[in-house]
Structure formats: structure tokens, C-alpha cells
Amino acid sequence: MLELSAGGCTVEAVLNGMPLATIGPAGGSKSLAVHEYTLAGRNRLSLVVSPPPIGTNPPSQPRVAIGPTWARARLVLVGQGQSPADPGVRALGVVEWATAEGKTYEAPSTHGRDVDLPVTFPRWRWLDAPPIAITPAVQRTALEFVQQLAVELGRGNAESLIAASKLRFDEMALAYQIDVAAVLQRFRDHLQRLYAANALKITPPVAAELVLRPLVDGRLIECLTPAGGAVLRTQNESTDLGDHAWPIRMAMVEGRIYVLR
């Protein structure tokens, strides 16, 4: 699992080029399972301090720490029934960064290290996806793709997303040693429950609402809102229904889209 904790600054944890968790300046901690982003052997774990807004690449600028300002990312091996905070977990790799109150630090800045992990996962398909240049044609193709998915999901139809995400579902099942048919059925059942509860209000995005973020040297493209959230999401008026999102990290091969993560 990946455990991220921080205080005094916004920080993002990145594993092998995949941004996986963010904590705002109010601080706190969060953890998540990361099997499907983990590689056999060498892995790169990084902290991005004060990451820039999605779709921008500003130069680093000095910033003064207001109060204790720090961040830590850990990759930990968690046993059955344990949490990453348990004292008995095995830390496989740690990246830490801190600056004292009143001191100047660079923002954004990246701090990372290589971590060798004793795992036996196969070579994930996203490692061999061809790099994608984000051209107007690619932007249009991606927009049409997520628009159609939004329409189908809003109707309670899971099959379009399942078809586009077949490789993702296969690898997720492999990563967590679960039956892929069971994974697909749970996804269908979840979507049907939301549909029956009128909790699938999904508005297809327009061009201005879609930001394409290149990941892992452009081999994947993440579909986001300008605020950085998943573009494929519900927009329910009732807070009782909650909101739900479906992250899209896709590869594109000869004009065809494959959702790999």
C-alpha cells in the first residue's frame, strides 16, 4: 500500500509516473492499495510539493513555509487485517521532505527515490503503450469517447465502459488475485443500483471541461476536469445520493482507445 501524509503544503504522491494521491495544505494522511501500479524490481516513488494546476507547467518559484511544512510517502507491505499505520507493517520504501517555519522552499519541486520491491507482478500493458502527442485530433477523439461513455453510463449501461476497459479489468483481477468475471459483475451490479436510485445524473462534458494530462512519458492520457477531478462523474443534486466518478487513464493505438487504468 501507499501511505501519504503531509502538513502545511499541498503534496502529490507519484509511483512510476502515476499520480495516485494528493493532500491539501490543511494536511492529513491517506492510504491506498497500489498493486496495479507496482513493478517487479525497481520502482520510482516521488513527492511533488505544491504541484501546479492541471495542464500547466510553471517554473519553480520560492515560497515561505508558514508553520511546519512537510510530506512523507511510504510504500508498505500490509498483512491481512493490518493498516499502513500499524507499527508492525514492513516499510519497503520512504520519501520524506520537510522545511522549517519561515524557511524558503521551491514550489513546485519533486523529491524521489528508487525502491526495489520483492513483487512478481507481470509487465503491465501500460508500460508498452505508444506515446501520444496531444493534438487537436486526439483532443477531439478523447472528447467524443468520454461523451459517449457519459451517455451510456447515465442510462445504466456498463457495457461500453467494460468493453473499452477490458485490459484494465483483466489486470486488476490479476493484481489482486480475484476472478475477473466477479469483478465485472460487481461493476454491473453497482451501476444498476445507482441507476435504480436515480443517482446517475451524468452530463457529457464539452471541450472546455476536458483536460488531457499526459502520464508515464505520454503513454497514458488522463481525462480530467480543469479542477483536476475525473471528467466522467455524477452530478447529483441530492447529497443523499452521493457522487461517483470513473477515472479514465487511456492509451491510444491507431486511433483506438484502450482504458488501461
Q: Mean pLDDT for each consecutive 10-residue tract of the chain (261 residues)?
A: 96 97 95 95 96 88 95 92 80 96 96 93 94 95 97 95 96 95 94 93 95 96 94 82 90 93 96
State how far Cα 237 lies from the chain centre: 25
Confidence at residue 239, expressed as pLDDT on a 0 to 100 scale: 63
Cα 166 from Cα 183, distance rounded (Å): 11
Q: Give, in order, the Cα–Cα distances in Å from 201 to each of 156, 194, 229, 258.
A: 10, 10, 16, 25
Domain boundary, last residue among 78, 103, 121: 121
Looking at the structure of the chain, the number of domains it has is 2
148-152 long-range contacts, CB within 8 A, separation 24+: 148/204, 149/232, 149/246, 149/248, 150/202, 150/203, 150/204, 150/205, 150/232, 151/202, 151/204
pLDDT of residue 95: 98
Last residue of a domain, one of 68, 97, 121: 121
Spatial distance between the Cα atoms of 190 and 258, rounded to a whole number of angstroms = 22
- pLDDT value of position 89: 86
Q: Classify 250 as helix, strand or coil.
A: strand
179/248 same-domain check: yes
Same-domain pairing of 72 and 115: yes
Same domain (yes/no): 143, 214: yes
Containing structural domain, residue 232: 127-259
Q: With contact defined as beta carbons under 8 Å apart, do 197 and 241 qualify?
A: yes
Instruction: Name the domain boundary from 58, 90, 121.
Output: 121
Q: Are 242 and 255 in contact (CB under 8 A)?
A: no
Cα–Cα distance between 77 and 2 in angstroms, integer?
9
Q: 147 and 92 in one domain?
A: no
State whether 151 and 244 are in the same domain. Answer: yes
User: Is residue 26 located within the same domain as residue 101?
Assistant: yes
pLDDT given for residue 21 in this prediction: 96
Q: Are residues 114 and 65 in the same domain?
A: yes
Interior angle at CA 65, CA 63 and CA 67, nearest 5? 160
Residue 195 CA to residue 82 CA, distance in Å, equals 34
114 and 146, same domain (yes or no): no
Question: Do 173 and 242 fall within a single domain?
Answer: yes
Residues 65 and 79 in one domain: yes
User: Are 76 and 158 in the same domain?
Assistant: no
100 and 138 belong to one structural domain: no
